[in-house]
Amino acid sequence: MAEKPVIYVLNGPNLNLLGTREPDIYGSQTLDDIAGQLEDQAQALGVVVDVRQSNHEGHLVDWLHEAQTMNAKAVLLNAGAYTHSSIALYDAIKAIQTPVIEVHLSNPHRREAFRHKSYVGAAALGTVAGFGALSYTLALDAAAKL
C-alpha cells in the first residue's frame, strides 16, 4: 500500500506555553491538544501530520529544509514572533518547493502595528489567521487538498 502524504506542522517560539497564559488571545487549548486534534483530522483526510515546536529560529529553518528533503506534501507554519522578523525563514520558504501555509491563532492585523509585517506571509502560498485552533484545522484541510 502506498505511504500516506506527510504534512509538517511547525510551531515557533513560546507556542509551547499555549493553554497556560493569555487564553483571551490564544485560546485555552495546549499545543498537545491541538496536535491530537490534527492527528485525528489527518487520519480522516488520509494524510499524516508531524507536529513540532521550537523556540529556536534555526530549528525552524532546518525543518523547512527537511520537509523538502523528505518530500513532505506541505508545511503548516506558525512561526510565532519570528513571523515578523525573520528573513531567514523567508529565504528558507523561498528555497524549498514544498508549499508552506502560514498559520496564526490570532489575527496579527488586528493587533499591534509591529505584527502587521509578515516575512513568512510574503513567501508562503497562503495564510490562515484569527480563528484560534480552528486556523490549524482549516489550513490542514487546504494542505491535504493541494
* Cell output for 32: 498537545
Closest approach, Cβ 46 to ligand CA2, in A, equals 27
Contact residues for ligand CA2 (CB under 6 A)?
14-15, 17-18, 20-22, 26, 78, 80-81, 83, 104-106, 108, 115
Judged by DSSP in three states, 126 sits in strand
Closest approach, Cβ 54 to ligand CA2, in A, equals 13
Closest approach, Cβ 25 to ligand CA2, in A, equals 7
**C-beta of 5 vs 55, nearer to ligand CA2:** 55
CA atoms within 13 Å, Cβ hemisphere of 50: 15
Is residue 32 within a helix (H) or strand (E), and if so which, with residue range? Answer: helix 31-45
Q: Is 26 a known active-site residue?
A: yes
| CA–CA dist 11, 53 (Å, integer) | 4
Q: Is 119 a known active-site residue?
A: no
Catalytic residue from among 8, 104, 119, 136: 104
Closest CA to 96 of 135, 119, 125: 125
Closest approach, Cβ 20 to ligand CA2, in A, equals 6
Catalytic residue from among 8, 26, 119, 136: 26
| CA–CA dist 139, 135 (Å, integer) | 6
* Cell output for 1: 500500500
Q: What residues act catalytically?
A: 26, 104
